[in-house]
Amino acid sequence: MDFNLFMNDVVDAARQDIREAGYEELTSPEDVDQALERKGTTLVMINSVCGCAGGVARPAAANSIHYDKRPDHLVTVFAGQDREATEKARTYFEGYPPSSPSFAFLKDGKIVTMLERHDIEGFSAMDVIGKLQQIFDEHCEEI
């Protein structure tokens, strides 16, 4: 099997997983600015093809939002795939080094907190869901 075809399948499946969970995919710097400058709370899932993204981060992204409090906006950028969009998104994460997979939580376009790769890798999806829902409890309104 051609490795590039295999990787395209992996990337397509990873994109589909997060879109089906209800996240808006941002693929250009313009998309990022438009999405991250919105009023309210925004969860950004920085997607990737690594094992901890597929086994922990994407399942946590999908399941954490089934909760009584959740962000107003759910968006995603794909590290290593949509490079310009990811680089633009990272300009909003002041004080945090590049990390993927990861989650950034913003309020009115300003970074509040992040779950970085070291907060995801080595943890279960349930652990990360708990961490995300703790952020939602602190910063989101009930739906």
Say whether 140 is catalytic: no
CA 142 to chain centre: 21
Model confidence, pTM: 0.95
Q: What is the pLDDT of residues 58-109, one digit of tens each?
A: 999 999 999 999 999 999 999 999 999 999 999 999 999 999 999 999 999 9
Q: Which residues contact 129 (CB under 8 A, 6 or more apart)?
A: 60, 63, 64
CATH class of the structural domain 3-139: alpha beta
Say whether 52 is catalytic: yes
Q: What is the pLDDT of residues 28-65, one digit of tens each?
A: 999 999 999 999 999 999 999 888 899 999 999 999 99
**Domain boundaries in the chain?**
3-139
Q: Which residues contact 8 (CB under 8 A, 6 or more apart)?
A: none
Residue from 18, 21, 35, 50 carrying the catalytic annotation: 50
Q: What is the pLDDT of residue 7?
A: 75
Residue from 26, 32, 52, 135 carrying the catalytic annotation: 52
**DSSP designation for 20:** H
Check residues 133 and 49 and name the one with the higher pLDDT: 133
